[in-house]
Amino acid sequence: MWIADQWKDYEVIDTSNGEKLERWGKYILVRPDPQVIWNTPHDAIEWKKKNGHYHRSTKGGGEWEFFNLPGEWSIQYKELTFNLKPFSFKHTGLFPEQATNWDWFSELIKNAGRPIKVLNLFAYTGGATLAAAKAGASVTHVDASKGMVTWAKENAASSGLQDAPIRWLVDDCGKFVEREIRRGNKYDAIIMDPPSYGRGPKGEIWKIEESIFPFIELTSQILSDNPLFFLINSYTTGLQPAVLSYMINTVIVKKFGGFVTADEIGLPVSGNGLVLPCGASGRWQK
């Protein structure tokens, strides 16, 4: 498992009964987590000091309950700053487990010895975009949500990257890639974090089980002749590391050589030494 264990402003303190107890900077949140199927005593005192608690509803969805939590605050990861706010369906605007991937590709970019163009698809609030830009890459950031792209720009400004070579695009990722193929544009690296299900700005439907393999084939057409890396993240239960590995091997390795590694990603739990699984990633590099 690849573990995001370099955080100072974030930690999973404890896990129990379908929930995780987290510290985001100086604020404590309790959020549901489907992986936490065990029920252990709530020994950590922070359970009683929570600033926010997201309660799941038996009818689907849920709602936040707040205890002296600001509407927005920020935390840092190394040289990056992320603005957080609790919003729909338990999220805060950041997936801390992805830091293990940021560290991986940042080293590749820094050691490449040449300019690197990165395409970040389904780019959300820009964690990977900022990490790649900080490492020295020029980045094209694509997400279908205008609000998420605006949030990502704010994170870039907070991280001192407002003048970095980042293109911010509100677009359907599939349509964008198809246009890039027609225009002949190429990228040295592609990052994608596709949702299990989603709709584009014009109602385009994305179902990951049906769409992901054709999409990998499509995006392989805009990789440069000497690509540096290819990264897929998945939070969909059916897309295990072996599945990610097989798809990347079938498309990318067949075309460019190199090798694939795939594994679960996770976060350490400070209260008991366990690691909480948080999805899977497939990585390709030359």
Q: Is the pLDDT of residue 202 over 80?
A: no
Q: How far is CA 195 from the centre of its chain?
A: 10
DSSP per-residue string spanning 44-65 = SGGGGG-SEEEEEPTTS-EEEE
**For position 13, what pLDDT does the model report?**
98
Q: Which domains does the chain have, with CATH numbers?
A: 2-84 (2.60.40.1180), 97-285 (3.40.50.150)
Tens-digit pLDDT profile for residues 5-35: 999 999 999 999 999 999 999 999 999 999 9
**For position 236, what pLDDT does the model report?**
79
Tens-digit pLDDT profile for residues 139-155: 999 999 999 999 999 99
Tens-digit pLDDT profile for residues 45-90: 999 999 999 998 888 789 999 999 999 999 999 999 999 999 878 9
Q: Is the pLDDT of residue 201 over 70?
A: no
Distances (CA, A) of 233 to 122, 189, 191, 273: 10, 14, 8, 25
Q: Enter the tokens of residue 193.
A: 């974090």
What percent of the chain is predicted at pLDDT more than 90?
A: 87
Q: How far is CA 224 from the centre of its chain?
A: 23
Q: Is the pLDDT of residue 192 over 70?
A: yes
Q: Is the pLDDT of residue 237 over 90?
A: no
